[in-house]
Chains A and B, each alone.
Chain A
Amino acid sequence: MIDLLNAVVVLSNYVLIPALAYGSQLALGALGVTLIYGILRFSNFAHGDTMAFGAMVTILVTWLFQGWGISLGPLPTALLAIPFGIAATAALLLTTDRLVYRFYRQQKAAPVILVIVSMGVMFVMNGLVRFIIGPNDQRFSDGERFIISAREFKKLTGLSEGLAFKTTQGITIVTAVIVVVALFWFLNRTRTGKSMRAFSDNEDLALLSGINPDRVVMVTWLIVAGLAATAGALYGLDKSFKPFIYLQLLLPIFAAAVVGGLGNPLGAIAGGFVIAFSEVLITYPLKKVLGYLLPDRFEPDTLVQLLSTDYKFAVSFTILIIVLLFRPTGLFKGKSV
């Protein structure tokens, strides 16, 4: 019995919780990507760096607050600073749209042009962030690190395996779920949300219905700013902030958005979990778990690992491709331009 519990705890600690948290992080990023794809109809490569920008502003404000002695008790002070991050990101995105994207929208440029333009924007934002805060790691987390740490858990339960659950993991998971539900509701139930979908479907006809395109675009960027800054800050809190990483984060984020079905918020979260779980689960060596579950005689002396972690990306992409083969526009019937 104890063995069974230990096995469950090991699996939760190294597979379930990390994958849930990582999946939520991906989902938050993927939501922004998927929203831009859904409404403005292009894959935004600058999203990773938008997240970095939002996180950067949040960090700067957090430092300010920390300097003033403001804190949130057990919760990270950064939560207080996120609204400022969002506001700054919103300003940045609206400016970018005004200076860059609007021109191509009016030209009715092909989506791929926008994709390439967004790469240009990515380079510029990337330079901007590194310019302002530098290329290095920055730490800004405070408050309680853990809801429960491995050591406490062991003491509490007397089990030989520990289970750690970080505050940031908790916040991320909760936020992701709330945001997905809210966004889904907003897009499918509210007038503004529907008008945004209408705009993405048929811009000319949206005009004929009296929908104001500028407003739709603005609302989209505002929501994206909220998502990007929140996602960026939460990611930075959980791991650490480093501008370069946000660029790397883009790949799994896109994968999550695509496998879930582009343009669909529910897809983004499903996609996030698919990617996260396939990375963590397939490469997890079962040695310890089996060690608890099987009688001593059968205890494995190898790692019992299906594939080495070298191939964790390969695994998640293989799964992605298999999913797409059966559901060509993702789990939740996404769009394609």
Chain B
Amino acid sequence: MTINYKNIGLFFLVACLILGTGFVQSWNTALFILNMGLVSAIMALGVNLQWGFAGLFNVGIMGFVALGGLAAVLISMPPTTEAWAAGGLRVILGIVLGAATVTTAILVQLRMAAGPARTLTTIAILIGGFFLYRAVFDGGVAAVEAVDAAGTGYLGGLNFGGASYKDWGFMTLISWPVGGLLAAGVAWLIGKTALGLRSDYLAIATLGISEIIIAVMKNEDWLSRGVKNVIGLPRPVPYEIELQESAGFIEHTTALGLDPVTSSSIVVKLGYAGLFSIVLVIVLILAQLALASPWGRMMRAIRDNEEAAEAMGKNVTARHLQIFILGSAICGVAGAMMTTLDSQLTPSSYQPLRFTFLVWVMVIVGGSGNNFGSVLGGFLIFFLWVQVEPMGAILMQILTSGMAEDNVLRLHLLDSVAHMRLLTMGLILILVLRFAPKGLIPEK
């Protein structure tokens, strides 16, 4: 039971950190950390599912998060009608042709007897299909991208709210599960091919695939504007401006003695926090129930010793695939949520350091194999990620406080304040793991 006090204490500590941010810095920042902490906790749960439960070393989280973001655009933005007219069908036809080519090739591989004839047919189909696909697809893409390149230049999404599409904010909510499905679909493809790989080999394969996903999102402008970004996604919560202009809101806030501008953004953030918390709680409960059941036991057995688990009748391949898809889908959902919160999709901001490794840090520091650990890690690490910047500055101030005003070293130190951010993050990481080498809330 003592251990339980410790865990509650840890959560309490993180709550204090966030509340402290609210009191010392601002409630907006605190809520921002809370919201991103919620999203990060969900991602960490997804990764914990894969690593902590099943020992799958997935380092492609970034890709699944990005797919979730893509879903947010594809669902919640309005379709670009001119683009559809210009080349939409051609693009779709191109994709269908591409898929058909691959399918036919696979069918040939399966159906025909092995031999030179089969190889030749397959190659012929693939090459022919490739040129056909390029011929159809490229033209369509060019046409789509030519439509108002600076403003749209892509096919847009499925929000049929027309000019008032921003009022259809609930569409973004639909995009969350869709983001999960999209991620799950891609995870299925990856799992089918690459899950046979072990440990670090699987890691580099997933890392590569996530880079490929980002490359596609950066370069296929017809899909989501590539590096030109999509900004101004609709929101499931009201806009601050609307609140500030609504008489009722101003009345309420002034009655409470608050500033309407500040309170409007706080209310909006609280709205997000509410939505995100619902998702987190659902995911956490489901994950926790699964972990503390024969299913979780089976997964741990597979993680411990695949060969023996297989001999004891557990279908290791199928289970790995299942949990890989599930974990990736959760990351996809979180990705869609995050894009909703940002109200924009910027493919070049998907950096492995931020979206893959930071999530891993959350899982490991929190304590892999323990769902509550992952949630704690999500909040704590994101808090640090945001707060190490001022911390680094403070660190430098302390270091330089004793020095003369024009001391060269002092100036140099103060100049490098910006680089202290990552350094501080690194130091904290090392220190935390030093005192809790199995994570803050270790697996039981």
Q: Which residues of A contact B (CB under 8 A)?
A: 37, 43, 45, 100, 103-104, 107, 109, 112-113, 116-117, 119-124, 126-128, 130-131, 134-135, 247, 251, 254-255, 258-259, 262, 308, 310-311, 313-314, 317-318, 320-321, 324-325, 328-330, 334, 336-337
Contact = CB atoms under 8 A, between A and B. Distances in A.
A262 B211 contact: no
B420 interface: yes
A128 B430 CA distance: 15
Choose among A103, A124, A259 the residue with the greatest number of B CB atoms under 10 Å from its CB.
Answer: A124
Contacts, number: 141
Given A112-B368, A120-B426, A120-B428, 9 more contacts: A124-B423, A135-B419, A251-B352, A258-B204, A311-B215, A317-B212, A318-B208, A321-B208, A329-B201
Interface in B392-406: none
A320 B196 contact: no
Contacts of B422: 123, 126-127
Q: Which 3 A-B pairs have the closest CB atoms?
A: A123-B426, A127-B423, A317-B208
B326 interface: no
Contacts of A127: 419-420, 422-423, 426
B420 A254 contact: no
Contacts of B218: 310
Given A130-B419, A131-B419, A325 B193 contact: yes
Contacts of B368: 112
B208 A123 contact: no
Contacts of A334: 201
Nearest to B202: A324
B212 A314 contact: yes
23 contacts: A45-B357, A104-B433, A107-B437, A109-B438, A116-B361, A119-B360, A120-B427, A120-B433, A126-B422, A127-B423, A127-B426, A251-B211, A254-B204, A258-B201, A314-B215, A318-B212, A321-B208, A324-B194, A324-B204, A328-B197, A334-B201, A336-B199, A337-B200
Contacts of B419: 126-127, 130-131, 135
A104 B436 CA distance: 11
B364 A123 contact: no
B182 to A, nearest CB: 19
Interface in B261-308: none
Given A119-B357, A126-B422, A127-B423, A324 B429 contact: no
Contacts of A318: 208, 212
Most buried by B among A104, A123, A328: A123
Nearest to B419: A130
B354 interface: no
Contacts of A120: 425-430, 433
Contacts of A112: 51, 57, 364, 368
Interface residues of B, number: 45
Interface string B401-444: 00000000000000010011011011111100110011000000
B365 interface: yes
B77 interface: no
A100 B432 CA distance: 12
B116 to A, nearest CB: 20
Contacts of A321: 193-194, 205, 208-209
B141 to A, nearest CB: 12
A135 B419 CA distance: 9
B219 A320 contact: no
B361 A119 contact: yes
B200 A37 contact: yes
A313 B216 CA distance: 11
B207 interface: yes
Interface string B41-61: 000000000010000010000
Interface in B208-235: 208-209, 211-212, 215-216, 218-219
B201 A109 contact: no
Interface of B: 51, 57, 193-194, 196-201, 203-205, 207-209, 211-212, 215-216, 218-219, 352-353, 357, 360-361, 364-365, 368, 416, 419-420, 422-423, 425-430, 433-434, 437-438
B364 A113 contact: yes
In terms of DSSP, what is the predominant structure of the interface of chain B? helix
A121 B425 CA distance: 10
B434 A103 contact: yes
A286 to B, nearest CB: 16
A123 B424 CA distance: 8
B201 A116 contact: no
Contacts of A116: 360-361, 364-365, 429, 433
B430 A100 contact: yes
B103 to A, nearest CB: 19
Nearest to A312: B215
Contacts of B438: 109, 113
A130 B429 contact: no
Contacts of B360: 116, 119
A308 B218 CA distance: 13
Given A119-B357, A127-B422, A313 B215 contact: yes
A109 B427 contact: no
A116 B357 CA distance: 8
A328 B196 contact: yes
A140 to B, nearest CB: 20
B427 A124 contact: yes
Nearest to A109: B437
Most chain A C-beta atoms within 10 Å of own C-beta, residue among B201, B211, B437? B201
A120 B207 CA distance: 20
A336 B201 contact: yes
A127 B194 CA distance: 36
A117 B427 CA distance: 10
Contacts of B197: 324-325, 328
A104 B357 CA distance: 20
A104 B426 CA distance: 16
Nearest to A262: B200
A135 B198 CA distance: 37
Contact of B423 (A128, A313, A314): A128
A43 B368 CA distance: 18
B429 A325 contact: no
Nearest to B220: A310
B219 A123 contact: no
B430 A43 contact: no
Contacts of A317: 205, 207-209, 211-212
